[in-house]
């Protein structure tokens, strides 16, 4: 019974941590910058160019809004950033500050300083690693150079409003965020957009949302986050499969212990079982007796394990495991919160319990059948 209790307790806590990890990872993927769906002009994703853009982004945004899909347009262009004696290639992103807040939580991930404000078009927010490379902090000046859409040289002086936390490799190394108006002035870009970020309601599945987005933007390139980040999507699915593998490994060990313990219990009482058989107790009754004994032990183990798991689950959900001491964590270029929190869902409890019930039921059959087939004569001769 102790082995069953320990195994179930371990698997409940393990499932909570893995489910929390997957939840936070997917939340980081879609909430901070990527969104559930992205829309581009045809061929832009494979061959990005400032000249290749969505001509009527307002029409697309309105259509998505009619389908209860939050959306915001972004502008994207490359350039060079310089400060003091350092310079680096940068990726400039122009955003509608108010509308972008509906689809992205990037504004909540400012490490130092403040996020963008429409009233401050000369202020920019830069990635963490870019700030380190250029040696800049909030309040410092940043010179940006690029090529405008009219063929002229784009250059201007901006003030660092804020420095982001680590959110993704691309944003960290070269991300420069500015207001939409500042971007259009810098690149002489009067209209259009390069990207539309879309968020779906929580209760709507991704496939349905993608279909609705394609109805609105039938002539544009519509991609879900799973298509944009196939490695991450595969990682999430393989991690869920890993839960099952760990279940099997631990519970196979438990099954061996159960078979061994119940066989010893049968052999210790073989004479008593023989007496029962001699008194007319049938094999079915003996089989039921052994299975009921195993079921009773399993029931007690489940109750004890679930009671013991309550404080552990509460701690993992509220505080989590702080892994910041081992440095920053990222998966496929997406930064991950160093505090690893658990989550409590029906799956957290039901999956380990059902797996234990199945393993114990199967494991108890062999000892029970062994006891049911004992003949009274052989049992009385057993030493």
- Asked whether the predicted pLDDT for residue 274 surpasses 80, the reply is no
In 3D space, the residue among 13, 31, 25, 12 whose CA is nearest the CA of residue 236 turns out to be: 25
- Structure confidence at residue 60 (pLDDT): 95
- Asked whether the predicted pLDDT for residue 383 surpasses 60, the reply is no
Of 54-58, 330-334, 356-360, highest mean pLDDT = 54-58
- Structure confidence at residue 170 (pLDDT): 83
pLDDT digits (tens, 9 = 90+) for 100-140: 999 998 988 899 999 999 999 999 999 999 999 999 999 99
Give 3-state DSSP helix, strand, coil % of the chain, rounded to 5. Answer: 55, 20, 25
Q: Which residues share a beta bridge with 376?
A: none
Distance CA 83, CA 143 (A): 6
Distance CA 251, CA 247 (A): 6
- For residue 193, what is the DSSP state? B
Distance CA 159, CA 139 (A): 6
Q: State the chain's mean pLDDT as an integer.
A: 85
Q: Which residues share a beta bridge with 90?
A: 79
**Where is average pLDDT lowest: 134-138, 189-193, 227-231, 248-252?**
248-252
- Asked whether the predicted pLDDT for residue 329 surpasses 90, the reply is no
Distance CA 106, CA 165 (A): 9
What mean pLDDT comes out for the span 209-234?
91
Residues 295, 298, 300, 306, Cα dihedral to 10°: -140
What mean pLDDT comes out for the span 325-340?
61
Distance CA 311, CA 322 (A): 17
- Asked whether the predicted pLDDT for residue 335 surpasses 60, the reply is no
More confident residue, 38 or 330: 38
- For residue 152, what is the DSSP state? S
Widest CA span in the chain: 104
Residue 364 near residue 290 (C-beta atoms within 8 A): yes
Distance CA 371, CA 292 (A): 13
Q: Long-range CB contacts (< 8 A, 24+ apart) of 146-150?
A: 146/77, 146/78, 146/79, 146/80, 146/92, 146/186, 146/187, 148/186, 148/187, 148/188, 148/189, 149/50, 149/51, 149/187, 149/188, 149/189, 150/188
What residues have CB less than 8 Å from 153, skipping those under 6 apart?
Answer: 145, 146, 147
- Structure confidence at residue 337 (pLDDT): 64
In 3D space, the residue among 15, 22, 6, 13 whose CA is nearest the CA of residue 312 turns out to be: 13
Distance CA 306, CA 106 (A): 38
Task: Name the percent of the chain lying above pLDDT 70.
Answer: 90
Provide φ and ψ at 69, rounded to 5°. -110, 115
- Asked whether the predicted pLDDT for residue 332 surpasses 90, the reply is no
Q: Which residues share a beta bridge with 196?
A: 39, 73
Give the other-Cβ count within 10 Å of 36's Cβ.
23
pTM for the model stands at 0.71
pLDDT digits (tens, 9 = 90+) for 156-179: 999 999 999 888 788 888 999 999
Reported confidence tier of residue 381, pLDDT bands at 50, 70, 90: low
The domain locations on the chain are 2-26+232-381, 37-199
- For residue 340, what is the DSSP state? E
Distance CA 63, CA 24 (A): 30
- Integer angstrom CA distances of residue 129 from 280, 311, 377: 81, 39, 81
How buried is 145 (Cβ within 10 angstroms: 0-12 exposed, 13-18 middle, 19+ buried)?
middle
For every residue of 113-150, DSSP letters joined together read E----TT-TTEEEE-HHHHHHHT--TT-EEEEEEE-TT
- Structure confidence at residue 254 (pLDDT): 74
- Asked whether the predicted pLDDT for residue 352 surpasses 70, the reply is yes
- Structure confidence at residue 235 (pLDDT): 78
Give the other-Cβ count within 10 Å of 277's Cβ.
23
What residues have CB less than 8 Å from 280, skipping those under 6 apart?
Answer: none
Reported confidence tier of residue 65, pLDDT bands at 50, 70, 90: very high
Distance CA 247, CA 10 (A): 10
**3-class DSSP state of 102:** coil
What mean pLDDT comes out for the span 6-19?
84
Distance CA 295, CA 300 (A): 9
């Amino acid at each position: 019974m102790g082995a069953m209790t320990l195994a179930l307790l371990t698997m409940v806590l393990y499932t909570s941590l893995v489910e929390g990890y997957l939840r936070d990872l997917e939340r980081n993927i879609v909430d901070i910058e990527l969104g559930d769906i992205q829309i581009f002009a045809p061929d832009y994703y494979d061959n990005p160019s400032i000249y290749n853009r969505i001509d009527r982004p307002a029409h697309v945004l309105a259509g998505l809004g009619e389908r209860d899909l939050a959306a915001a347009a972004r502008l994207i262009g490359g350039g060079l950033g310089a400060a003091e004696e350092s310079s680096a290639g940068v990726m400039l992103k122009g955003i509608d500050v108010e509308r972008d807040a509906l689809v992205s939580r990037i504004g909540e991930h400012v490490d130092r300083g403040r996020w963008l404000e429409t009233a401050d078009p000369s202020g920019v927010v830069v990635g963490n690693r870019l700030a380190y490379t250029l040696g800049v902090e909030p309040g410092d000046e940043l010179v940006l150079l690029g090529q405008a859409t009219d063929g002229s040289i784009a250059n201007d002086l901006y003030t660092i409003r804020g420095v982001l936390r680590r959110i993704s490799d691309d944003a960290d190394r070269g991300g420069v965020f500015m207001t939409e108006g500042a971007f259009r002035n810098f690149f002489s870009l009067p209209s259009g957009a390069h990207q539309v970020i879309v968020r779906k309601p929580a209760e709507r599945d991704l496939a349905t949302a993608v279909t609705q987005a394609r109805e609105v933007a039938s002539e544009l390139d519509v991609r879900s986050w799973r298509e944009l980040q196939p490695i991450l999507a595969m990682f999430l699915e393989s991690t869920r499969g890993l839960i099952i593998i760990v279940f099997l490994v631990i519970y196979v060990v438990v099954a061996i212990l159960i078979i061994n313990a119940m066989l010893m219990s049968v052999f210790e009482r073989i004479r008593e079982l023989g007496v029962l058989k001699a008194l007319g107790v049938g094999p079915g009754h003996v089989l039921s007796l052994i299975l009921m004994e195993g079921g009773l032990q399993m029931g007690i183990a489940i109750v004890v394990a679930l009671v013991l798991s309550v404080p552990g689950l509460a701690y993992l959900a509220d505080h989590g495991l702080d892994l910041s001491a081992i440095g920053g964590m990222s998966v496929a270029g997406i930064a991950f919160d160093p505090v690893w929190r658990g989550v409590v869902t029906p799956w957290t409890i039901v999956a380990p319990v059902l797996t234990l019930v199945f393993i114990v039921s199967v494991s108890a059959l062999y000892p029970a059948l062994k006891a049911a087939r004992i003949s009274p004569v052989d049992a009385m001769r057993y030493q």
